[in-house]
Each structure stands twice: as C-alpha cells, then as structure tokens.
Amino acid sequence: MSIREGQLVLRDGSVFEGELIGAVSAGGVSSGEVVFHTGLTGYQEVMSDPSYAGQIVTFTTPHIGNYGTTPLDNEATKVHARGVIVREEARRESNWRSDLSLDSYLTKMGVSGIAGIDTRRLTRILRDTGAMPGAFGSADHATLLAAAESEAGTSGVQLVEQVTTKSAYVVGSGHYKVVAYDFGIKSTILRCLSEIATVTVVPASTSADEVSALAPHGVFLSNGPGDPEAVVGAPVHIRSLVDSGMPVFGICLGHQLLTLALGGSTFKLPFGHHGANHPVRNLRTGSVEITSQNHNFCVDANSLSGIADITHTNLNDLTNEGMSVRDARAFSVQYHPEAGPGPHDSRYLFNEFRQLMEAK
C-alpha cells in the first residue's frame, strides 16, 4: 500500500505531519473538535460511540489496531467520530475475534484517520489550552487551517438530532418496562438494561405525555454528544416525568439534562473527560470506582444546592459525577456505568435503578 501523506492543523496554527489511513474524505479534509482519549483498549467502541459526534479522537495509547475490529464491538451501526488520530497503526491485527484491520474498518465505515502523529505533543497542547477545532487530510496547509478556523466545535451545537433514532423500537424481554430516551444511546447500555427490563427506545424529542402513555416502570436518560443546553425541549419533558413520580435514571448527557430540568446549570470543561480510567468517589459508601467517561460538559454542583444531594465526585478535578434528586425518584451519574469499554465497577447502578422501580 502506498503512503498517503497528510497533515493535521489545529485552529491555533499547530501543524503535525503524518500518514492518512481509512477512507479518503471529500476534498481531502476531515474537521471537528479535537479531543484525547486515555483508554488502553476499546478503540472500536470509542469510535462508534454516538457521544463522539462532532469530534476527532486522539488516542494517547501509542499502538492502535493491535487486535483488529469485529462487528460485535460496535456501539452503533456507524462510526460517529469525525476522524481518528493515532501515533502508530498496528501493522497486523492479532485476535481470533478480528474481522477487519483498523484501516479496513475505517474505510468500510467511510471515516478518515491520520497516523504517525506525535500524540504526546498533541495531548499536551490540548491539555494546556483546551480541546480545540482542527482539520486533517491531504489538502494544503491553508485549506486545512481554514477548515479548522471555520469548524463550529461543540459549544452551542445541537448534535443529538444527528444521532438519535428516527422512530421507537423495542429490545429485550425483562420483567420491567423501561422507556429509554435516545440522546446517543450505546449498544452496551441496551444490553445492560435488557437484563432487567423490556426497553422501548424513543427519539430525543419524545414528549412526557407520549412516554407516560407507554406506562413504563421507569425512564432512562442516555448518553449523547454536544452541549446539553442545545438540546431544546428535553429538560421540560424530563421535569414533567420527575414531577409525576416516575423513576428516572440518567447517565452522561442524561445527567446534564436532568440537571437542567431541575433548574441547575452546566459548563464546558477545558478538555473534557475521555477515558476508561477516571477515579470517582462514591460519597455514600466512601469507595472509589474506576469509571469510563466521555463528555465535554459538566454539571455545576453548586447550582443543585437544596435540589439534589451530590453522590459522586471526580477525584482528578473534583467535578460533579452524580446526584440523587430530593423528594423525587430520580438519580444520575456523569460517567458510563455500562463501561463499553472500561471496568465494570459501576454496573451496580443498573441494579439500583431496578430497586427504584420495585419500590412502592
């Protein structure tokens, strides 16, 4: 295979030279908000996670593609990341489950990547100055810089409408009936919920009345991409469901939307939390969970004073990671308890949701 030379250019003018992998993008340019992910494994789950819509993912692990890819590891039917950046693409994949190499997988999914990048230098830039728009491809420097400068990023951008289901569908056959709002839901989440419930997945714009008409035992608010304040309408419907006494469990974007529904506020983190190794303290038990996270925005814990009890805190930066709503049957966490990929320390939360639905 011939080498396809390319460049990555950030909005601040930083330039990185590398080799293009995967599909050839139209016009030789792929743009998005550049973030870094610190997980050692799970690159396929990360790329196909709808929460990465609008973003280009930099993997800090030097070798990516070692164990190939398999359809069984997809978190969605397509790759939602705008592109991927790696230090070195593995020359050959070695795993009995592997169906395609990383390069072939990206090509099949119509997504571009760039390898040979000094990801350590890139990560330091993003850590020091914050996540920023960038562009990579075979185009000249001026074209790539212009693409980076014109990229909208994720602040104030409604990305949920790009990833949510167009119509409702049902998965699982568990004892309880759960309605899951699809703000960018992952396959692993549905597998976890299916162990306890028959799950009706509904579009993000579904009203509280439409949900109530399904007579569920509980409502799940999924993960998803972008700015929670751009998801117009969802907080109103969520507030109505909480006020009705419906058991509600939210994660990631669902945690942020529940906060907005209660009158709280959110803000954007400098470079977000993206990885499968974030330590979180459970304030109720004192135990520490190693969690899987993917979010650029965060809940302002002070805005929940008198409204909710803080249940979890991030030990890296002390930001909010969970809450339990006072005088309501609702709770949420900022991280991914299904952990696809990542450790399973937090899967007990699905059981807590089941217990909440059992309670009279």
Residues with active-site annotation: 252, 336, 338
Structure tokens, 192: 């976890």
CA-wise closest residue to 13 among 157, 135, 151: 135
Cβ atoms of 189 and 172 within 8 Å: the answer is: no
Q: Which residues contact 267 (CB under 8 A, 6 or more apart)?
A: 297, 298, 300
Q: Which two tokens stand for residue 320?
A: 């909010």
In the 8-state DSSP scheme, what is residue 81?
B
**Which position has the token pair 């009995």?**
96
- Tokens 């949900």 belong to 211
From residue 257, how far is each of 39, 226, 297, 302 by CA, in Å? Answer: 26, 12, 11, 16
Of the candidates 178, 301, 292, the one whose C-alpha atom is nearest the C-alpha of residue 241 is 178
The CA distance from 45 to 111, in Å, is 15
- With vertex at residue 70, the alpha carbon angle to CA 69 and CA 74, rounded to the nearest 5 degrees, is 95
What's the rounded Cα separation, in Å, for the pair 95 and 194? 28
